[in-house]
Amino acid sequence: MNNIFKLKRIWLMILFPIGLIVSYIAREIPSFAEWYSNTIYYYISRGINFITSLVPFSIAEIIVLCFILFVLVYIIIYIFKLIKYKENRKVTAIKFILNPICFGCTLYFIFVMFCSINYSRFTFAQTCGLEVKPSSESELIELCSAIADEVNISRKSVTTDNKNVMKLSNSDIYAAAKEAQKSFDKINSDYPLLRSGYGQPKPVLSSRLMSYCNITGIFFPFTFEANVNTDVPDYSIPSTMCHELAHLRGYMREDEANFIGYLACKKSERADFQYSGKMLAFINASNALFSADPKEAEKVYSKLSSGVLTDLINNSEYWKQFEGPAAETANKVNDSYLKANNQHDGVKSYGRMVDLLLAEYRKNKPQ
């Protein structure tokens, strides 16, 4: 047993309590989290993202695949050792358990420093100048109606396939990734904390597998890459790209990333990006209205053009094929992850984007 404590790796276990302490401080002192996000995190994320952006493919995807293979090989090697070296079985068994624990502690600490602290920073509303306050149902109806009109107008300018389903104006997904980067860089003038200079989002080769898990995009904090599922209906790809780029800039709350993604899409000169952002806003706002007043929501939906309805139906049909245990499990895992990072509403936090939309609508509404 004494030999076990002589292993240098065992001291990596101290990283777990350190990570817990740092997370606690960030939650209790949001000003510390905000300072960290705008200083230390900024320089770390920019530096690593610069390196990982030198290649167009997702390094994160390769790491995940290699990790799965490594786990399988690791298990096989230790089973072989347990069988062959009978005199050292106790030490071998302890090492077999200890190594993953040390690795997990290290991984958790890196996750806290590269991602988790950002969940505790000031809200985007606090730093962007938008006044979020309780809104009446009439304001929500007015917002939904206004966005529906914008969506209808934007839909007229997008490219469609032979089934009248919206498709990206440029079939090159990397061109869309470049546009997402450009659009995001433009909003820096309006929102200084949304800093420019980060790389493009990365299309994922195993996108179909992501769909089976109900995942449209993943920010991978260990490589600082915004990974995007490109198998999904085209109308949602631009807003997803911008959503993940918001995470890359340290805005981890899902509702805020949605709103920031919407802002970035509006800055684009491409019609498909503008349409994608407005569709994201409409879906969030109309879902909130359906919960508050289904009849009024139906009235708003009746305003949608046939093209918009075609895209919504196509989207529903796409996701219906992936319903099952895998999607349900992934949703539960995501829900637990959000709650573990101080988003007490879990998956429901996606709906809070509507408060920001209402705040923006009031700010820009002619008096």
> In the prediction, which pLDDT does 1 show?
47
Low-confidence ranges of the chain (pLDDT < 50): 1-2, 330, 337, 346-350
Examine the domain organization and report whether 103 and 172 are in the same domain. Answer: no
Examine the domain organization and report whether 150 and 68 are in the same domain. Answer: no
CA distances from 223 to 26, 51, 187, 309, 315 (A): 22, 9, 24, 38, 30
Of the residues 71, 98, 120, the one at which a domain ends: 120
DSSP lists the bridge partners of residue 159 as 167
Q: What are phi and psi of 101, to 5 degrees?
A: -65, -45
Q: What would the two tokens of residue 11 be? A: 């001291």
Examine the domain organization and report whether 247 and 360 are in the same domain. Answer: yes
Examine the domain organization and report whether 225 and 245 are in the same domain. Answer: yes
Of the residues 65, 93, 120, the one at which a domain ends: 120
Task: State the total domains in the chain.
Answer: 2
User: In this structure, what DSSP letter does residue 177 have?
Assistant: H
Examine the domain organization and report whether 75 and 168 are in the same domain. Answer: no
Over residues 102-159, the pLDDT tens digits come to: 999 999 999 999 999 999 999 998 898 888 888 888 999 999 999 999 999 999 999 9
Q: What would the two tokens of residue 331 be? A: 């949703």
> What does pTM read for this prediction?
0.89
Count of residues in the chain: 367
Over residues 87-97, the pLDDT tens digits come to: 778 888 888 89
**Strands, sheet with 217-220, edge to edge from the N-terminal-most edge strand:** 202-203, 225-228, 217-220
Q: Which residues contact 355 (CB under 8 A, 6 or more apart)?
A: 125, 132, 135
Of the residues 120, 141, 167, the one at which a domain ends: 120
Examine the domain organization and report whether 58 and 144 are in the same domain. Answer: no
DSSP lists the bridge partners of residue 225 as 220
DSSP strand pairing (202-203 vs 225-228): parallel
The amino acid at 98: L
DSSP strand pairing (217-220 vs 225-228): antiparallel
> In the prediction, which pLDDT does 81 show?
86
Cα 254–Cα 259–Cα 263 angle in degrees, nearest 5: 145
DSSP lists the bridge partners of residue 228 as 203, 217
Do the beta carbons of residue 130 and residue 123 sit within 8 Å?
Answer: no
Examine the domain organization and report whether 297 and 339 are in the same domain. Answer: yes
First to last CA, the chain: 76
Examine the domain organization and report whether 133 and 278 are in the same domain. Answer: yes
Do the beta carbons of residue 278 and residue 259 sit within 8 Å?
Answer: no
Q: Give the Cα separation of 219 and 58 in Å (integer).
A: 11
Closest of 264, 307, 262 to residue 280, by C-alpha: 262
Cβ of 74: how many Cβ atoms within 10 Å?
14
Which residue reads 């879902």 in tokens? 287
Examine the domain organization and report whether 135 and 99 are in the same domain. Answer: no
Closest of 265, 184, 275 to residue 234, by C-alpha: 275
Dihedral sign for Cα 301, 315, 257, 109, please: positive
Examine the domain organization and report whether 249 and 230 are in the same domain. Answer: yes
The amino acid at 124: F
The amino acid at 355: D
Examine the domain organization and report whether 69 and 166 are in the same domain. Answer: no
Examine the domain organization and report whether 242 and 167 are in the same domain. Answer: yes
Show the domain range for 79: 2-120
Q: Which residues contact 134 (CB under 8 A, 6 or more apart)?
A: none
Cα 260–Cα 52–Cα 60 angle in degrees, nearest 5: 80
